[in-house]
Amino acid sequence: MKPVILVTRRLPDAVEERLRRDYDARLNPEDVLYSPDELIERAKDVDAILPCHTEKFSAEVIARLPARVRAIANFSVGYDHVDIQAAKARGLIVTNTPEVLSDATAELTIMLMLGAARRASEGERLVRTRAWKDWNPRFMLGTQVTGKRLGILGFGRIGQVVARRARGFDMEIHYHDVRKMAPEQEGGAIFHPTPEELMPHCDFLTLHCVSSPETLRLLNAERIALLPDGAIVINASRGAVVDDEALIAALKSGKLTAAGLDVYTNEPDIHPEYRELPNVFLMPHIASATKETRDAMGFRALDNLDAIFAGREPRDRVA
């Protein structure tokens, strides 16, 4: 008999086709967001769950999962929606989908950088609402990206791709990570051993950190104060790494010129003031939203499931 897989969201056609071929797949064609109780009920007779970051596997939820469930194979690179310690204690295998979304996320990071710097959302509204009346030398002045200093907080796979793309704009790359990278990974980027030492070198700051207790509100008022006046902040990692109140205050005061955001705390119920600020370029958590990337994420999750049910160690095990 084929293993039974609960798939919590509607996935790309090619991924669901492979699921139906290789597994007894319990799909979600209506793409309904399951409550914790519904999730547990639907998991009663399944061998594994293939969720997205929209499903929250707290310690309580994990404790209530049927004993038959062996694995949670996430359709995401982030796994902060899963209580990893509870999963380990329960003996659940947890996997993610790294690497395959690095290019797409880096592309969106560059878009956020350009959109925030060149006031893209303001300009588009002017055109759409017919408020654009004429041209003058002071109209819609933005910030030039070329030749500026880019600070990258979190220099893993995505951060390194962002650095490569940014070099096309002749940017000087600075970074902080938990360790200094090898020269071939740095590509000439300048390492700073603490976030505090990185901040003064950032005309632009991009965040590429995992969400964890250690990175909660990593960008806070104290660190924002260390940025150069007029800096621009970009976040395409997780909303929890930013202190919303501190960022909003800096955008209002002029300490920061702008921000470009794809992720938020409590999304989609984001901090309401972000919607009111004209100097924030907002996207709806779509960093990995290309056909190529979403297919690759699904196939990577299925590769992990294939390994688990073949008795092999999955490539992307995080618990």
Single-letter amino acid code for the residue at 237? S
Amino acid, res. 221: A
pLDDT tens by residue, 61-76: 999 999 999 999 999 9
The reported pLDDT for the residue numbered 150 is: 99
Instruction: Find the DSSP H helices in 53-156.
Output: 59-64, 84-90, 102-117, 120-128
Active site residue 285: yes
Give pLDDT < 50 ranges for the chain: none
Whole-model pTM over 0.85: yes
Evaluate the omega torsion of the peptide bond into residue 268 and state whether it is cis, within 30 degrees of 0.
yes
Based on the residue annotation, tell me whether 201 is a catalytic residue of this protein: no
Structural domains in the chain plus CATH codes: 4-100+291-309 (3.40.50.720), 102-282 (3.40.50.720)
- What pLDDT, on a 0 to 100 scale, did the predictor assign at position 239? 96
Catalytic residue among 208, 285, 294, 300: 285
Indicate which residue of 267, 273, 315, 317 is catalytic. Answer: 267
End-to-end CA gap in the chain: 26
Q: pLDDT at position 211, please?
A: 87
Q: For residue 269, what pLDDT is reported? A: 96
Kindly write down the DSSP assignment for every residue of 131-155, as one continuous string: ------TTTT-----TT-EEEEE--
pLDDT for 250: 98
Active site residue 238: yes
Compute how many other C-beta atoms are within 10 angstroms of the C-beta atom of residue 278: 11
Token digits for 189? 């980027």
pLDDT, position 210: 87
